[in-house]
Amino acid sequence: MPVSPAYRPDPRFFDLGDAFGDAVRAADFPQTVIRHRNDRAAAEVGLDTLTDAEWSAHFGRFQPLPGQPEPVAMRYHGHQFRTYNPDLGDGRGFLAAQMRDASGRLLDLGTKGSGQTPWSRTADGRLTLKGGVREVLAAEMLETLNVPTSRALSLIETGEALERGDEPSPTRSAVLVRLSHSHIRFGTFQRPAYFERADQIETLIEHVRGLYHPSVAPGDAPGLLAAVVAANARLTARWIASGFVHGVLNTDNLNVTGESFDYGPWRFLPHYEPGFTAAYFDQFGLYAFARQPEAVFWALTQFAGSLKPVADAERLTEALNGFGPAYIAELRAAFLARLGVRSLGEAADQRLLDTTLALLRDGGAALRWEPLFFDWFTGFASSERALRGPRRAVYQGETFDAFRFALFEHEADRPERLEHAMFAAAEPEEMLIDEVEAIWSAIDTTDDWSPFHAKLARLEAARAGWAWPDGNGQ
């Protein structure tokens, strides 16, 4: 059986027609070698029963899955580093399929590196193997830390030698398939607004409302904006709590469901550094760590602007202004979850947020971002473990005392989680750049995939250890 009974195709975006996407075909690759198949994610949509041969046929040769049409390259515009670009669109990927998971959510299979499309311009439409490996690692780490994210469903090496100006070339090639709640970007709305097509904006509003935000009333564009604002406030707060820097927060890299995707020059903070940037070409720090809330809000204002032809401007502004309060509330909740404690009320929760950030700031390079949350998970119950651990010298002084007081005010949330084996280790799972480069170096120099697969196995164990109350942030 190629797919399981859990497979439920529902290709809804394809019904929108050629105003929103272009029919395309995948490149014909010299080879298809499976390097990663995410059977845990595949099981959610009934694809875990595929044989390796079927997997390669569907995700390397892109034979359509049952009940799915031919793929489409999605059309969109966007602001790139705040400069409007009307020549965007899926240039090296396409929407391959849509299906429902067990809870009824509509999920996409989107590609990266699947070949040229009408929007490729002069690019080759390919993905480097290193880029694919990095996207798998980013998505796995974010899921481990309870951040809403696409999942890397498949990574297949494709046997081409690619020339790139920003890394040693020739380099190996790959095609990636991601499983995501939606690939409809803010820029998807910007395109019909640019062409003054109010009818297409209304079509998109109803499509997105009905499929992704059904609690919004039909035709209520400001209500849809409010839902998108709330989802992206939650996403941004969890990025910050995880010490994550996306790198390129253009309006074509943010979507209507508030799920992070399309990872390029991402990084995780080694330690607290507000101005830390992920992209070498972000010379002015536009998308630096601490500026990410500002960047997302700016992108949301562009999304709101694209709705103005069909909505009341005052109500759109009101919805947009909900971002600040929603972000702060979500940030408090995200830090409490990371520390494994329950809410004690707004004032006490804010005090814990403030003192946690102060401790991270004053700890400098001696206190990495991720270990603080690992050391003090569930609060008082971790005291002996933290104060005997490798960072015991950092845990002293007035700043630490203020943090500890604020933390101990809060009741532990399921302290039995500390019984998991990962909390017996001295260090948590991290995803710092040196480890990422070491994983790639093993692949690049000796074709050794064991560090990559070992890292994924450790992240799987860490997810079980953190045992987030609401799954993986979806």
Task: Tell me the backbone φ, ψ of residue 81, rounded to 5 degrees.
Answer: 50, 45
- Which residue, 202, 251, 279, is CA-closest to 88? 251
Query: How many other C-beta atoms can be found within 10 angstroms of the C-beta atom of residue 120?
Result: 17
Q: Which two tokens stand for residue 29?
A: 């690759």
The whole-angstrom separation of Cα 35 and Cα 289 is: 31
The whole-angstrom separation of Cα 199 and Cα 20 is: 12
Tell me whether residue 28 is one of the annotated catalytic residues.
no
In angstroms, what CA-CA distances link 296 with 234, 242, 473? 11, 16, 18
For residue 408, the Cα-to-chain-centroid distance in whole angstroms is 32
Q: CB neighbours of 69 closer than 8 A, spacing ≥ 6? A: 11, 14
Query: Which of 252, 262, 282, 375 does the annotation list as catalytic?
Result: 252
Task: Tell me the backbone φ, ψ of residue 468, rounded to 5 degrees.
Answer: -60, 145
Q: Which two tokens stand for residue 310?
A: 């069909």
The whole-angstrom separation of Cα 102 and Cα 106 is: 10
The whole-angstrom separation of Cα 245 and Cα 264 is: 10
Total length of the chain: 474
The whole-angstrom separation of Cα 471 and Cα 41 is: 13
The whole-angstrom separation of Cα 121 and Cα 86 is: 12
In angstroms, what CA-CA distances link 299 with 52, 250, 254, 315, 347? 40, 7, 8, 18, 30
Is residue 394 within 8 Å of 400, Cβ to Cβ?
yes
In angstroms, what CA-CA distances link 122 with 91, 118, 129, 258, 432? 10, 10, 20, 31, 33
The residues assigned a catalytic role are: 252
